[in-house]
Structure 1
């Protein structure tokens, strides 16, 4: 299997690269900096931007799935997520990309805010309001595209170890308890979904 990981140098993207290589997958990694990634005969490194359609096109060509795990430390006035979505859709249209595109948003974006805990709502309102507004634009762009997308809304990401023991919801439920979740477990889910898609064109919440 050959997968593309956009935003591969840190966090979930980095963990996805390591887990994919361990599975024997061929991986194309797109990131603005690649020095954190290992050297491996199955790893193709492309230095570029997730918001540049030309770079994205090079990265996704002839692959079996795309994982998008980008993030930013910029709290105010960032358009990274919506700009990325526009670039991915444009690049995909150029090459008629029909394989799964699995992207990370955030729990509490859009309708999910009603189901978030008081703590998550507080974090969003105090620190992430602009980011979440842009993530909603990103979600809308993918939802309105022809792509075979999967929208992943994890809770607060942590550096806890891999458990592979998490719950998956494809709709909002009052009984959900969404808190912290390991980046390694999010990567685990994304790779499983890439190899055997179950949630195409659905919102997915992954939690313990």
Structure 2
């Protein structure tokens, strides 16, 4: 049975994936909130359509303000082109999950990477530190502490700047079905999976099979 989602908050909304999630959530008629650290990164055409909170995902007060009154959460946190050691993504996710438990928000989709389907030694060395923090994110999400939450771990491969596949992309639980996913398809799934219980507590790989 599908869950009714009307209000969603997005953490990481100024990145490529986050902006696609905002677009897809608006298409579905959701009321969208975004916690944004740097307001200048939010496109002028997007800002008037959503509720924007200027804050930081590592600060509890900011996270609590963003979560107030929400039905669901989307996490698309990233480091842009910085591939150095970080715990910002995993620290932020833990804070978001803790605050969800406190405020009664139950549903979350969190974007990581399909590298998590691979043995760590096969991950290209330059992505090792980012992958390590994605692994910490996944371990946090899977913690028994948060088993009461309806979480979805979304593990995309390369995010392609390609047209939408018009719902032709494939979703696997526990493995990746391909090497690329159009960014709009990723945004679509990040939003739609929130109300699809078959994806709860699953590691979801997705790809457009003809984009290899």
* TM-score range for the pair, normalised by the shorter chain length: 0.7 to 0.9
Tell me what 2:126 maps to: 127
2:62 is the counterpart of 1:55: yes
If the length of structure 1 is used for normalisation, what is the TM-score? Answer: 0.86
2:28 is the counterpart of 1:23: yes
2:194 is the counterpart of 1:200: no
- Residue 53 of structure 1: how far off its partner (Å): 2.1
- Cα deviation, 1:115-139, whole Å, max 9, x if unaligned, reads x9xxxx4xx3231101111111111
Tell me what 1:171 maps to: 174
- Residue 75 of structure 1: how far off its partner (Å): 0.9
Structural RMSD (CA) = 1.9
- Residue 61 of structure 1: how far off its partner (Å): 1.8
Asked if 2 retains the 8 angstrom alpha-carbon contact of 1:53 and 1:90, the reply is no
- Residue 203 of structure 1: how far off its partner (Å): 0.7
Runs of 4+ in 1 over 4 A off after TM superposition: none
Q: Which runs of 5 or more structure 2 residues have no equivalent in the other structure? A: 1-5
**Residues matched between the structures, number:** 195
Tell me what 1:186 maps to: 186
Asked if 2 retains the 8 angstrom alpha-carbon contact of 1:161 and 1:182, the reply is yes
Tell me what 1:102 maps to: 109
2: distance between equivalents of 1:86 and 1:53? 11
2: distance between equivalents of 1:165 and 1:57? 37
